[in-house]
Structure 1
């Protein structure tokens, strides 16, 4: 078993990574629990694949809440449904609320846990690659609103993260590729040798090789844990770096109505390409770096172009203005001076970004 600790003083917690961990989860969940009950929150797709096996691996009876699958589940309506159901089970602060699913279930469950009884304990058991390497770690919880993605939420750390790479065997290839975008992100942000590793091993990883997946998950979690420990609430630029590609990507998702036409990881992949191309346009990095990023994703059948439904630059800029990092009307962008050399640019002129997007769209 690989153990990675997120060092947050009295709120520190472990990330445990091991094949087969889902089937014996009770051995790990029991330790930090301490509560008298536990409730599992999952979605219909994950329940069909993993819920029975997970229940068998627990050491005590559990209530179960099964929600619809998909990004649309991260809504006010489902937050209300989830909170009311949790309260109907008599959940107390020390009980285990377990998020068994991808980023949608983890974000929604974590947010519900943050507001039920002014803060309850919860456990993350991520079942997608994207959730395993990114959203399950760090305590960012949220739902979407009409104004944009993840704009209503709270920082609320889990007590434990359990990661079983074996669950990824049931993940559709498209979902695996989307999650891989967040793996490559860690190399592009600040670890050029890891991006080199990605270029050598992506095909093996995407073919489902357990060793490659475990290595990628561990490296990604170590990187994120270090960032979260240093800048938990994004009070300086360090944690903001994890949003490489996300400002562009969230705008694409919002324009698509958070539908299945564009997965979050696909939007992030396109967003990272745009971030590197815009960096090259500003003379911050060479065009070869931007091409390298785009070519890497394209080589593995990943989304690399702005989708047809999102080709109005004015609408995209409108979505970008809703970015959570905006201060005084200024929207910072995560740009790059090369592979592994990301930084936060606070001097971005959105009129220039609009011109850039118009040029990119005109090429399509």
Structure 2
């Protein structure tokens, strides 16, 4: 007897573990009959998960926290027992903005502080000339993309709420918006940065791993009430996703994984673009310049699948910094409790596993992040909405 499940996803490479789990038989091996439902926007995924149309979902990590806190929508406690991906985002800019930043840069173009300072000079020059503010696209107010853009530009002195415009766009619409001049840049997950480069309408300025060494991106999310009623089913789903992640991380399987992900009903883009993402070898400029990084997207390696509550604390701190919520100890505890490493450990047969030992968040600016001192973290930054 199999258990039917409906799971929502957005066409992004960091949905790979879910898609491969279903299409290569890992869920079936666990006794699960999973129907994957492709969605366009994160609000659709969140709402269908919250009201029970989805049993589980590929979800932005901050949305799981915001839903559990009742921020921006109804309060529905969410559990995230598996990370579908760490990192994987990039900041892509139009050819015109890329040229402007490069003309102002003083330092290494791969150094996010150098580009942030250059951006500040571009913004100041535009203001002086009376030009419209630059517009940056991101996928959702409660998104890693929003916080990563803000963290980067604020480090260089650009106030994301005063000096530029930030607009919400669904991931599949980012490229057309850049090509049409509706935005000057965006932060989004793969494959959409690469698609923009391949079409000649964008330059990848930074991998998010330049900004944060280790950033929780997407999670396997379920309602807390559902997890409590279906613990064995959830454990089976975690194992299937974990085995799929191991499959993807084997270089010998990458071509097949990319082919599966490329199908029209899954991501609907070229397999070669997807494989470049999984391999961490990306074309970053329309002229063919390439860049390689072993940290571009972590699907299963380096303990990526195991949730780390410290990552949830960092995301909560960004919500506080940018005025989405007030700082409260009970809310911090709720946020950290969304990430459930003990459920992962139990499902994988590793009860009592040690805490994540692969390194902290590693932001390029500010002090090392301490989940026990959110106020100290926020006080280190001049730009933001939080006041001590």
TM-score normalised by length of structure 2: 0.29
Taking CA–CA contacts closer than 8 Å with sequence separation of 6 or more, which of the two structures ends up with the larger relative contact order?
Answer: 2
Q: Which has the higher helix share?
A: 1
